[in-house]
């Protein structure tokens, strides 16, 4: 994930109360009108609970598009 991807994820999750499940992250970002690339990155996360947006950023694969298509 690039620095700009990290900024997009952070912005999409701004205001979300943590801890949050993956499904909560995706739904929150969708509700905020996040870009498709940001949503794909969040959808590529492993299932589970995340304690902060920084934890989410660290968990997103470097190439989320390839993770989903592979």
Supply the DSSP string of 23-56, one letter for each residue.
HHHHHHHHHTT--HHHHHHHHTSPSSEESSHHHH
Query: Between residues 22 and 65, which one has the greater pLDDT?
Result: 22
51 assigned to some structural domain: yes
67 assigned to some structural domain: no
**Mean pLDDT taken over the chain:** 86
Q: Which domain holds residue 16?
A: 3-61
68 assigned to some structural domain: no
What band does 64 get if pLDDT is binned at 50, 70 and 90?
Answer: very low
Report the pLDDT value the prediction gives residue 29, as an integer from 0 to 100.
97
Number of domains in the chain: 1
69 assigned to some structural domain: no
pLDDT exceeds 90 at position 1: no
């Amino acid at each position: 994930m690039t620095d700009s991807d990290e900024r997009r994820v952070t912005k999409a999750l701004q205001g979300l109360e943590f801890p949050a499940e993956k499904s909560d992250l995706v739904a929150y970002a969708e509700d905020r009108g996040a870009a498709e690339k940001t949503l794909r990155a969040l959808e590529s996360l492993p299932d589970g609970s995340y304690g902060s947006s920084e934890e989410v950023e660290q968990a997103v694969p470097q190439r989320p598009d390839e993770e989903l298509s592979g």
